[in-house]
Structure 1
Amino acid sequence: MKLVWSIMVLLIILLQVRLWVGEGSFAQVWGLEEAIAGQRAENEELEIRNERLFAEVQNLRGQQGALEERARMNLGLIREDETFFLVVEQ
């Protein structure tokens, strides 16, 4: 009878070790859940950025004035009949 109890205790200990340490253990599952939560947060930020970029592209495609404004602001473009003044602060 002692042998049967010893075998059962040994099996329970082995099952507990597998449950807490190794592949598919609680520690690994917790780590994966944290990684998933981090990835979801990053995906939400990237989705918001993509929506902003998509809106900007739609604006640039739809309105000629938006394209001209972008060229003036970023590239410093001016028309032929305009005068460019550069104000330098000290």
Structure 2
Amino acid sequence: MKLLWSIMIVLILLLQVRLWVGEGSFAQVWGLENAIAEQREENAELAVRNERLYAEVRNLRGEKGAVEERARMNLGLIRNDETFFLVVEQ
């Protein structure tokens, strides 16, 4: 009878070790859940950024003034009938 109890205790201990340390253990599951949560947060931030970029693309495709404004701000667009003044502060 003692041999049976000894075998049962050893089996229970082996199962506990696997539960806490082995593959699929609580520690591994908690780590994976944290990684999934971080990835979801990053995906949400990227989705917001993508939506802003899509809105900007729609604006540039739809309005001619938006393209001209972008060219003026970023590329220094000047029309033929305009005069360019550069104000330099001391």
Question: TM tier, shorter chain?
Answer: over 0.9
Structure 1 portions without partners, runs of 5+: none
Q: Partner residue of 1:30?
A: 30
Asked if 1:51 corresponds to 2:60, the answer is no
Aligned length: 90
Identity of aligned residues (%): 82
Note the C-alpha offset of 1:57.
Answer: 0.2
**2:45 aligned with 1:21, yes or no?**
no
Q: How many Å apart are 1:21 and its aligned residue?
A: 0.3
2:7 aligns with 7
Shift of 1:30: 0.3
TM-score (norm. length: structure 2): 0.97
Tell me the TM-score normalized by structure 1.
0.97
Distance 2:22 2:87 in 1: 67
Unaligned runs of 5+ in 2: none
CA apart distance, 1:86: 1.7
